[in-house]
Each structure stands twice: as C-alpha cells, then as structure tokens.
Amino acid sequence: MGVTKNFFIALSKNQPLNSAAKKWGLKLGAGKVVAGTDIASMMQSVKELNANGISATIDSLGEFVHTKEEATKAKEAILETLESIQVYGVNAHMSVKLTQIGLDVDFDFCLKNIQEIVAAASRYDIFINLDMEDYNHLQQTLDILEALRTEYENVGTVIQAYLYRSEKDVETLKNVRLRLVKGAYKESAEVSFQEKYEVDENYLKLIKIHLRSPGFTSIATHDHHIIEKVKAFVKEENIPLNRFEFQMLYGFRSEMQKDLAKEGYAFTTYVPFGQDWYAYYMRRLAERPQNINLMLRSMISK
C-alpha cells in the first residue's frame, strides 16, 4: 500500500508526463474524476450536481508553475471561471492552489494575484477557498490568508488532520470558514501522524472543535464512519445544519453524496476540470489504489 502510494505520488510530480497528458484528453480513467477539460463541459457537471441539491467547489487545474507568465495565465483562467459561475448562475464557489498562481515564484506576486481573484469573487458574492498543499507551503498559505482577511471575508482555507500543529491552527482560525481534511501528502514523522488511527482520531477532534466555533465547517471525507459520528455529534450538540456541510470529490461515492443531500445536509462536491488533469489524477490514485482498476479498464478498452 505504502509503495503504491509513493509510486503514484512520484508520477504526479513528473513534468514530462504531465505535459504529454494535455495532448491525451481525459484518458486512463481520468474522465471519471475530472469534470471535463473546458468550462462548458465542467458547467454541465455542476448543473447536474445542483439539480440533486448539491453545491460545487470548482478547481481550475494547474501544476508545475515556475514563471510569472505561467502564473498570470493560471490567474486569468481562474478569473474566467469565476465569471462563468456568475454567467451560468450555478451554485458554486472556487478552490485555488497558491502555487498555481505564483507562490513558488514570488510571495508578493502571488499575494497580488490572489487579492485580484478574491476581490473579483467578492463582487460576485462567491467564496474562495485556499487549497492547502504540502507542509513546506503551509505557513505561507496561512500568512496570505491572514493578509486577505484584513480586507475580505469571502476567503478561507484547508486544515489537514495529519499534522501535529493543526489543532492549534483550528483554534487560531475559529472565525474562518475551514475545509477539514485528513491530508493527502506524504509528510515526515517530525510534523505529522503516521498511523491511520491517529489521523482519524485527530480529524474527528478538529471537526468537533470547529463545529463549536463561529466559523463555517466543511467536512471533506469519504469515510462513512466519520460521517456517522459527525451526524450523531451535531444532533447531541444541537448544531444547526446551516453551520456545516459535507464535501466529497467529484466521481467518488456519488450515491452517498445524493443521499446526504436528500437527508437535508448541506453538501458540496469538489469539481476539478481542465487540460492539466494528470497530476491531480495521479494523487487520487495514490490515495485510493483501487482506482487503478479504473485506469486499467480504460487502457484495455482503448
């Protein structure tokens, strides 16, 4: 399991393969978990989700950004997607990776880009979620969040339960809308829990802390055991259903997503799209090796 995960994480970082994948279209089974390569096809997927009472958080995919020109192009694509949310009138917000808009190029340049994005989203009354990446980018992401929130309220971020520091971060960000996740990156024992049961315990602890806080809580998990425990907790604590939501990835446990929405829980699906789908898909294979079957069936059918 660990070897398989490391293998696909390594593939996700392979820039030549990522470049080649842009010419393939959605192949290797990626079409199951990526909602199209352009805005029009993605929006059709979002409309279908909305018809089932499900909102969306849209990710305009992009990887391997090393120049200001690449970052500016990515920013323009995000701004175009924001405008399309307004034009299509869908129930959706956006998730943005700061490395995609220049965090590894220049901090101030990235801050300027995300300020432009959050300002545009504010005009449309759209929320922006700053996706959390690996540990090396964590503090910079929180620093940018702090800077943004001096002027805007329509922005939040992600906290990963496998990191030791996350409980303190959740306490500090008690007034902020947070997406709580277990965590998808491989981090060292110096900064993160290594055992699944430790991550699960900390995840549930963080959920309970933030549910008791003023900030809105997005609980992003496919783990039905965690979901059932959250249901019981909010009932015991009399936490209103409009104070939190469940989230899952596009293409995963679709029937459970619909069922939770039918039960009256707020639900949002993470909807990635774009030609830059390869690295995202490899990370999904790393998280859930059973998805390798999807890829193999796709290759055989071709």
CA–CA separation, 145 and 2 (whole Å): 33
Q: What is the CA radius of gyration of the chain?
A: 18
Residue 102 labelled as part of a binding site? no
Residue 56 labelled as part of a binding site? no
Residue 221 labelled as part of a binding site? yes
Residue 283 labelled as part of a binding site? yes
Residue 222 labelled as part of a binding site? yes
> If you search the block for the tokens 């001096």, which residue do you land on?
150
The alpha-helical segments, DSSP class H, found in the chain are 2-12, 15-24, 39-51, 68-88, 107-124, 138-148, 166-172, 196-211, 224-237, 254-262, 278-287, 292-301
Tokens of 188: 């060292």
DSSP three-state, residue 59: strand
Tokens of 110: 């990235």
DSSP three-state, residue 231: helix
Residue 196 labelled as part of a binding site? yes
Residue 266 labelled as part of a binding site? no
Annotated catalytic, 276? no
C-alpha neighbours within 13 Å on the C-beta side of residue 241: 9
Tokens of 13: 């970082």
Nearest Cα neighbor of 21 from 301, 225, 295 is 295
Nearest Cα neighbor of 295 from 272, 277, 268 is 277
Annotated catalytic, 179? yes
CA–CA separation, 63 and 285 (whole Å): 17
The residue annotated as part of the active site, out of 131, 169, 200, 276, is 131
Amino acid making up residue 177: R
Residue 183 labelled as part of a binding site? yes
The residue annotated as part of the active site, out of 59, 179, 200, 276, is 179
Residue 97 labelled as part of a binding site? yes
Residue 182 labelled as part of a binding site? yes
Tokens of 132: 């959390």
Nearest Cα neighbor of 31 from 21, 17, 20 is 21
Residue 177 labelled as part of a binding site? no
Secondary structure letter of residue 186 according to DSSP: -
Q: Residues annotated as binding site?
A: 97, 132, 160, 182-184, 196, 221-222, 283-284
Q: Residues annotated as binding site for substrate?
A: 97, 283-284
Q: Residues annotated as binding site for FAD?
A: 132, 160, 182-184, 196, 221-222
The residues assigned a catalytic role are 131, 179
